[in-house]
Amino acid sequence: MPSTKRKIINDPVYGFITINHPLIFDIIAHPYYQRLRRIHQMAMAHLVYPGAVHTRLHHSLGAYHLMCQAVTELRNKGVEITPEEDVAVKAAILLHDIGHGPFSHALENRLAPGIHHETLSLGIMHQLNENLEGRLSLAIDIFTGKYHKPFLHQLISGQLDMDRMDYLTRDSFFTGVSEGVIGYDRILKMLLVHNDELMIEEKGIYSVEKFLIARRQMYWQVYLHKTVLSAEKMLKKIIERARKIYRKDDPYILTHSALDYFLGGDFDGVINADSMERFCSLDDADVTFAIKRWSKHPDVALSTLSTNLLNRKLLKCTIQAEAFDQATLTKHTLDVCARLGITEEEASYLVFTGEAANTTYNLVAEHINIYFKSGDVKNISQVDNALIHQTLSTPVKKFYFCTLAS
Amino acid sequence: MPSTKRKIINDPVYGFITINHPLIFDIIAHPYYQRLRRIHQMAMAHLVYPGAVHTRLHHSLGAYHLMCQAVTELRNKGVEITPEEDVAVKAAILLHDIGHGPFSHALENRLAPGIHHETLSLGIMHQLNENLEGRLSLAIDIFTGKYHKPFLHQLISGQLDMDRMDYLTRDSFFTGVSEGVIGYDRILKMLLVHNDELMIEEKGIYSVEKFLIARRQMYWQVYLHKTVLSAEKMLKKIIERARKIYRKDDPYILTHSALDYFLGGDFDGVINADSMERFCSLDDADVTFAIKRWSKHPDVALSTLSTNLLNRKLLKCTIQAEAFDQATLTKHTLDVCARLGITEEEASYLVFTGEAANTTYNLVAEHINIYFKSGDVKNISQVDNALIHQTLSTPVKKFYFCTLAS
Amino acid sequence: MPSTKRKIINDPVYGFITINHPLIFDIIAHPYYQRLRRIHQMAMAHLVYPGAVHTRLHHSLGAYHLMCQAVTELRNKGVEITPEEDVAVKAAILLHDIGHGPFSHALENRLAPGIHHETLSLGIMHQLNENLEGRLSLAIDIFTGKYHKPFLHQLISGQLDMDRMDYLTRDSFFTGVSEGVIGYDRILKMLLVHNDELMIEEKGIYSVEKFLIARRQMYWQVYLHKTVLSAEKMLKKIIERARKIYRKDDPYILTHSALDYFLGGDFDGVINADSMERFCSLDDADVTFAIKRWSKHPDVALSTLSTNLLNRKLLKCTIQAEAFDQATLTKHTLDVCARLGITEEEASYLVFTGEAANTTYNLVAEHINIYFKSGDVKNISQVDNALIHQTLSTPVKKFYFCTLAS
Amino acid sequence: MPSTKRKIINDPVYGFITINHPLIFDIIAHPYYQRLRRIHQMAMAHLVYPGAVHTRLHHSLGAYHLMCQAVTELRNKGVEITPEEDVAVKAAILLHDIGHGPFSHALENRLAPGIHHETLSLGIMHQLNENLEGRLSLAIDIFTGKYHKPFLHQLISGQLDMDRMDYLTRDSFFTGVSEGVIGYDRILKMLLVHNDELMIEEKGIYSVEKFLIARRQMYWQVYLHKTVLSAEKMLKKIIERARKIYRKDDPYILTHSALDYFLGGDFDGVINADSMERFCSLDDADVTFAIKRWSKHPDVALSTLSTNLLNRKLLKCTIQAEAFDQATLTKHTLDVCARLGITEEEASYLVFTGEAANTTYNLVAEHINIYFKSGDVKNISQVDNALIHQTLSTPVKKFYFCTLAS
């Protein structure tokens, strides 16, 4: 009897993850889901934090696990969640990242320009829904926010959703960065639903503050760490350069994978059944393989970036509060031109600047509501003596400058 | 050969603590030090966090361990610390809390009014120094800040000293409150000495921010948790009440321990060899034992407080941002007078109000200096985009109100 | 509405423990249960493992938590457990140690000779049942094994009960001895019920082996560690000596607690309402307080043992595979007589020998059944290539010898 | 000044790993070492344990970290280790796995038949030594056991070497299998050198027992888990099949990497500068990329295995104590022939049987010596009441049978 089939999966982060519904089994068994095993969750962060090699599959399983706990907690508090909603919200969180391509965010919008991973996720969910005879319809409605119980959508996408809760927990676990540890289990215990919206009990305020601060710290210490940033910019530049010089008759640029379709001009910017299938055939191995090939390509910019990324000889990266001036950029560019005998256009892949930003808490676009015993509801930024205030909600912008080390 | 004697002690927090110097062995073996085994580090916090039953001895061993690591780190960075300074700074941190009495801070200033634990620590260190033939002299100079290398004193007492680093780590470990977890090992790696002052490397900023936020959260979530606060106020009130009604000819008030000396009027407020020895004979067991006896005392206020504390029937405690008005106090007081048939004076031990305050970071009295690669030194509150700013450095005052539950 | 009252308790071992039933609240609030806060789980083990200061209350809460998980797991596998059985089995595990006296096993049978803690636990449960208007009747039936579903009793008392599962997990956590870590969560997932008996799924064999080996290692490395053993023998000898020389007209022997009743000859060996109440008034503080008083008693044996235990100057203890010969005992006894100027009878409290035994797995009295997919059931010792075999099931006897260090 | 350069690396397992010697920096920066980032430590184990995606680079860094601790411990015990030996033994452990190819053990001996990874490691070390102007000579002498202090070699390769200590610790950490947790820090504290041999202090016996049992459990629960075994056998069969049908004029079999050299018959079984360089250009990405290509190859056996491995549709695997009979094999083979329309030869890649063996402790080839305070040295299997005895030292053989699920 499939309905009683039950499997437990060891997870170093949470202990055990339990799978016990046929739809969940079917999703996990699908090749598109299994593909996530071959996509790093944190792209190039492992060049600084060698443990950070966990996968998108592991992250989405973890988010699913937290969703199981959240549903149990809310039901214990009297919130009605039907069996159909239960499995739908779990299916939706499992699939929330199904549209990620190789190296996740680091290459987002680069392989298939103009296409965001959420769009792809939704497209793939629709296609899976056909294969699964409509069993994903409710999951899709919740995912897109059309369902009449907003709190279910908020569990998937919101300030305190299971996605963020898992990625902070998992990324801090695998990097070993204790600053990112959050009290996810306590936050889950503090969840409640009021007027169909997800809220936090009054006594959970400190845990939420901790969560926001942890996120801020992970951004600066890990996600935007200057070395990680350098490596991920190199990855982007490699793809850009390859696209730029791509010629179908150049055997050295060929990747022998669907990358050729996306880099060689065949992709017309529209996601349809064909382009989606090609996209879903890609994973980190294709890109890594291509970079290994390109490390011997005659184009100096492409081969230099490729070789150096493979051997972790990264561009030297500086981060500062003010924008870098044009003179610095020019000086380094000319220096690289001279050293490598390349043009300024070519050197622009090896010397460049830009900005990175992070907002700890967006007062406008997002909000975390605190429910007080008195029945009051306040945005966390309006609670007395809040740590989360105007200052923290101002986006922090920093500027980076990358150049080929001499 | 005593100099090569070496012992390792299991610590669930750090793994293993190593003891390898005769002076350290001698301090640990001393009855005054062993007495710290019988004093809870966190007084009554275990009534809310049942794991928080660790002792002052365990904390001071932990701080000693962190000191061992700090010395190693600083030496690796080229800071000169002589073998004599090495053992002295370790001896000093081991002894920094030797003057604590029963239930530590919760009864500080109550058993021996007007005497702070630092005064007692210093007095006891001087006495031990006599026993140990002057081997503690350098440790005392460092402890009192007289030694010419201020960073050694700062390792014992400062914003980032080994005391705070251990108590936050240990208290969050034993309570299970993940919000208090700090990256102590990373902070230790970031320590450096510049102009004889202890500082933090630039890239340690986020770890220090985390440390300050963790401390803030431990204050509100644990140390000043309303139930913990209630229990600790009850403990204080019990001692105050016992002192108030103490009569040497009342067999039911007698404690059969040195408490009689401190409560019965014999102690004249002066710490000398005699009073210090009596103080050092006290530990949690004496106070607990006295409370068990007093739970049957005819005085209603004393017996009610004692019985209720033993059985965890705590005073109902409310905490809020504004002061409580006199009317509320009067109303509850009269109610308790009526219920128990006692006077207002007696009821004042069962109904009372007051304030609790916490400052995350004191801009004036304390400072954490950040050392930049450029050679600049900045106070952490002046670093760009600092989390630690004016707001956090304003003391947060809250008001509590305790009353006998009906 | 009491039925929806819900409380979560932080536990450093398991994260959070949830209380959500009125009967469980009532048990925990009872003074007899709160008394367990003042009884160390591991008696004197903290003299070697300073973190091991956790309490009987914490252990029984932990066992309750595991029971909650076990019930959930079994129900998920289709085992019928009614709501009444659910709360009864949880109440029973909460109360399984309620009859422990000061310092638990270390003084078992010494304060109230001839009375085992299980007898007291049952007696107290019956009395609580009266207070609670019969709400404990089913819990008592399960506890005593009279209930018609044996697996419920086995969850409380058996080779793989929640008691052992918690004490191994908790004791290894607080001592920091990684050798005692067991995979309790995996074992819980492997539990099943077949023919009304508790069993383990085939693929749980390695976890069970690990559990048995961990227990063996905790015995030799912690519970029977020679220094722990020495301290606990000293504790026993102190009580024995006090009882021996107890005279009601000796003010220095008086303890001012119920200890006087149990040491002074008033206790007639029968547990009735009166003696039970006196017993339940005792905790570690009474014994510690008495030892502090006795450290100044004129009786040399009593004061020597008391002072030395307080100051951790423990008897020197040797453990070996063979019995110690009479000559060694005599030599040390005479030496101590000479040094302290005491009789041989008095010296027998300071120099003594005995044996300690441990059986990893008792083939006869106990059994762990493994359920194979084929439907077969085998005792774990009969599984192919079992680690648990004849050798491990032979009791290992070791002999100890304690003497006053010179 | 390069000699004072110092870097710390976050490791979720040990906290921080410190690099502080130019030679260590040079080794880590070498492309051959960086290549280990692209080789999974545990091949296909992540199909069962999704966290087990850590790399050979991470493992060798971890083993290096343990070596740093071991050197410090031994020096603290008075063992002389010169600065040259110190860095050499650390360099040797860093490089001990440098010769591993794609998917480590799972493909060992398959890509370059007849070549063991130790041979390759040594070959690569010699080549690096040339690049590094002889700075690896001492490391190589220690690695090959030629150096006159055998304990240094034993730290790299022996029953209790840093390699095993790290892989057990790391693999249990990343899989989340608590049964494999060992007390590595305690074992390190128990190491000593006697007669130039590495030994364990008497009181470390239980930790060593735990280590051996943990290894045994990791073998059966993880390394030889039937699903992991199935996936790794599929990987082997894919390579075997590809080699079998390889034809240089078949564009669909081409891998566009050095795999073509090793599969297409150009490799003559001799490791020389050329073949080593080709081997060192390979990593997991090449094999994964090839499998993705082969999943569309017209050869049914190759494409079936490739597609199914990518999508985690693994061969059904049974493990038992007795050999499988020929009848079962034939029946399944014919069934697969019929279903897929292939020959028996082709089906032999999809239906096969074999044996897996594990010896917990090899009494003959290996030994762990215990050093007693008395000066005696005993093999751990000869200690009283040893857990490690004849039974455990008998190799345990199990038989597996894999077939295409219907």
- Reported as a single tens digit per residue, the pLDDT across B122-180 is 999 999 999 999 999 999 999 999 999 999 999 999 989 999 999 999 999 999 998 88
CA C32 to centroid of chain Cα atoms: 17
Strands D191-194 and C377-379: unpaired
- Whether D1 shows a pLDDT value over 60: the answer reads no
Is the CB of residue A101 less than 8 Å from the CB of residue A107?
yes
Q: Does D38 touch chain C (CB under 8 A)?
A: no
Write the pLDDT tens digit of every residue in A30-69.
999 999 999 999 999 999 999 999 999 999 999 999 999 9
Q: Which chain A residues are within 8 Å of D177, Cβ to Cβ? A: 10
State the pLDDT at residue D258. 96
Q: Which chain B residues are within 8 Å of C53, Cβ to Cβ? A: 53-55, 58
- Whether B71 shows a pLDDT value over 60: the answer reads yes
Q: What DSSP element (H or E) covers B284?
A: helix B284-294
- Whether A178 shows a pLDDT value over 90: the answer reads no
Quote the tokens at residue A83.
């069996």
Percent of chain D having pLDDT more than 90? 78
Q: Does B220 touch chain A (CB under 8 A)?
A: yes
Q: Mean pLDDT in chain B?
A: 93
Is the CB of residue C131 less than 8 Å from the CB of residue C313?
no
Selected residue of C185, C192, C206, C207 to mutate for chain A interface (largest A Cβ count, 10 A):
C185
State the pLDDT at residue C356. 86
Structurally, at CATH architecture level, domain A2-225+367-393 sits in: Orthogonal Bundle (1.10)
Which subunits sit against A, judged by 3+ Cβ pairs under 8 A? B, C, D
Q: Does D365 touch chain B (CB under 8 A)?
A: no
Please give the Cα distance from B311 to A155 (Å, whole number).
41
Tally the C-alpha atoms within 13 A of residue B168's C-alpha that lie toward its C-beta. 26
- Whether A16 shows a pLDDT value over 70: the answer reads yes
Is the CB of residue D112 less than 8 Å from the CB of residue D175?
no
* Helices C300-310, C226-245: inter-axial angle, 10-degree rounding: 140
User: Which has the closest alpha carbon to A287: A224, A238, A250, A346?
Assistant: A238
CB contact under 8 A, C186 and A16: yes
Q: Does C8 touch chain A (CB under 8 A)?
A: yes
Mean pLDDT of A354-373: 77
Q: Which chain A residues are within 8 Å of B392, Cβ to Cβ? A: 387
Chain B residue closest in CA terms to A221: B206
Q: State the distance between the two ends of chain B, measured CA to CA, in whole angstroms.
A: 65
- Whether B361 shows a pLDDT value over 70: the answer reads no
CA distances from A73 to A54, A83, A89, C113, D142 (A): 28, 15, 14, 48, 58
pLDDT band at D294 (very low <50, low <70, confident <90, very high): very high
Mean pLDDT of B385-390: 62
CATH number (1.20.1740.10, 3.40.710.10, 1.10.3210.10, 1.10.1060.10) of D2-225+369-379 reads 1.10.3210.10
Is the CB of residue C11 less than 8 Å from the CB of residue C59?
no
For A216, list phi and psi in degrees, rounded to 5.
-55, -45
Q: Does A78 touch chain C (CB under 8 A)?
A: yes
CA C289 to centroid of chain Cα atoms: 22
Every domain of chain C and the residues it spans: 2-225+370-379, 229-357
DSSP 3-state assignment of D159? coil
pLDDT band at C212 (very low <50, low <70, confident <90, very high): confident
For B132, list phi and psi in degrees, rounded to 5.
-95, 20
Which CATH number is associated with domain A231-357? 1.20.1250.30
Q: Does A321 touch chain B (CB under 8 A)?
A: yes
- Residues 134-173, chain D: which have Cβ within 8 Å of A? 173
Which CATH number is associated with domain C229-357? 1.20.1250.30
- Whether B380 shows a pLDDT value over 90: the answer reads no
Mean pLDDT of A71-87: 96
Q: Mean pLDDT in chain A?
A: 93
User: Which has the closest alpha carbon to D233: D322, D145, D110, D137?
Assistant: D110
Q: Give the closest-approach CA distance of C385 to chain D in angstroms.
A: 7
- Whether C244 shows a pLDDT value over 70: the answer reads yes
CB atoms within 10 A of CB A4: 10
Write the pLDDT tens digit of every residue in D44-74.
999 999 999 999 999 999 999 999 999 999 9
**Cβ-nearest to A396 among B209, B213, B385:** B385
Q: Of A83-97, A370-384, B10-24, C251-265, which gets the smallest average pLDDT?
A: A370-384
State the pLDDT at residue A357. 78
Mean pLDDT of B260-281: 93
- Whether B365 shows a pLDDT value over 90: the answer reads no
User: Which has the closest alpha carbon to B36: B18, B65, B52, B59?
Assistant: B59
Q: Give the closest-approach CA distance of D399 to chain B in angstroms.
A: 41
Write the pLDDT tens digit of every residue in D120-139.
999 999 999 999 999 999 99
**Cα three-residue angle D301-D302-D307, rounded to 5 degrees:** 105
Which subunits sit against D, judged by 3+ Cβ pairs under 8 A? A, B, C
Chain A residue closest in CA terms to B176: A183
- Whether C389 shows a pLDDT value over 70: the answer reads no
Residues 6 or more apart in contact with residue C298 via CB below 8 angstroms: C252
Mean pLDDT of B296-322: 97
CB contact under 8 A, A11 and D292: no
CATH fold for the domain made of C2-225+370-379: Hypothetical protein af1432 (1.10.3210)
State the pLDDT at residue A386. 64
Is the CB of residue A370 less than 8 Å from the CB of residue A380?
yes
State the pLDDT at residue C393. 65
Q: Does C183 touch chain D (CB under 8 A)?
A: yes
User: Which has the closest alpha carbon to A127: A37, A33, A19, A3?
Assistant: A33
**Cβ-nearest to D321 among C207, C221, C384:** C384
CB atoms within 10 A of CB D243: 17
Q: Does A289 touch chain D (CB under 8 A)?
A: yes
| Residues paired with residue D192 on neighbouring β-strands, in sequence order | D199
Q: Which chain D residues are within 8 Å of C209, Cβ to Cβ? A: 213, 217
Q: Chains B, C: CB contacts under 8 A, how many?
A: 110
Under CATH, domain B2-225 is a member of which superfamily? Hypothetical protein af1432 (1.10.3210.10)
Please give the Cα distance from D157 to D151 (Å, whole number).
10
Is the CB of residue B406 less than 8 Å from the CB of residue B369?
no
CB contact under 8 A, A6 and C76: yes
pLDDT band at C294 (very low <50, low <70, confident <90, very high): very high
CB contact under 8 A, B175 and C312: no
Mean pLDDT of C256-279: 93
Mean pLDDT of D336-351: 97
- Whether C363 shows a pLDDT value over 80: the answer reads no
CB contact under 8 A, A186 and C6: no
Please give the Cα distance from D186 to D210 (Å, whole number).
11
Is the CB of residue B231 less than 8 Å from the CB of residue B313?
no
Q: Find the radius of gyration of the CA atoms of chain C.
A: 23
pLDDT band at D381 (very low <50, low <70, confident <90, very high): confident
Write the pLDDT tens digit of every residue in C309-350.
999 999 999 999 899 999 999 999 999 999 999 999 999 999
State the pLDDT at residue C257. 96
- Whether B3 shows a pLDDT value over 50: the answer reads no
Residue carrying structure tokens 């040990």: D14
**Cβ-nearest to D210 among C217, C384, C396:** C217
| Residues paired with residue B197 on neighbouring β-strands, in sequence order | B194
Mean pLDDT of C381-402: 74
pLDDT band at A3 (very low <50, low <70, confident <90, very high): very low
Percent of chain C having pLDDT more than 70? 94
Please give the Cα distance from C302 to C252 (Å, whole number).
11
Which residue type, as a one-letter code, is found at position D180? G
- Whether B224 shows a pLDDT value over 80: the answer reads yes
CA distances from D84 to B2, D66, D77 (A): 30, 18, 19
Tell me how far apart the 2 most distant CA atoms of chain D are, in Å.
Answer: 72
HEC string for C285-327: HHHHHHHHHHCCCCCHHHHHHHHHHHCCCCCEEEEECCCCCHH
- Whether B2 shows a pLDDT value over 60: the answer reads no
Strands D7-11 and D15-19: antiparallel
Residues 6 or more apart in contact with residue B375 via CB below 8 angstroms: none
Say which DSSP state B319 is in. Answer: E
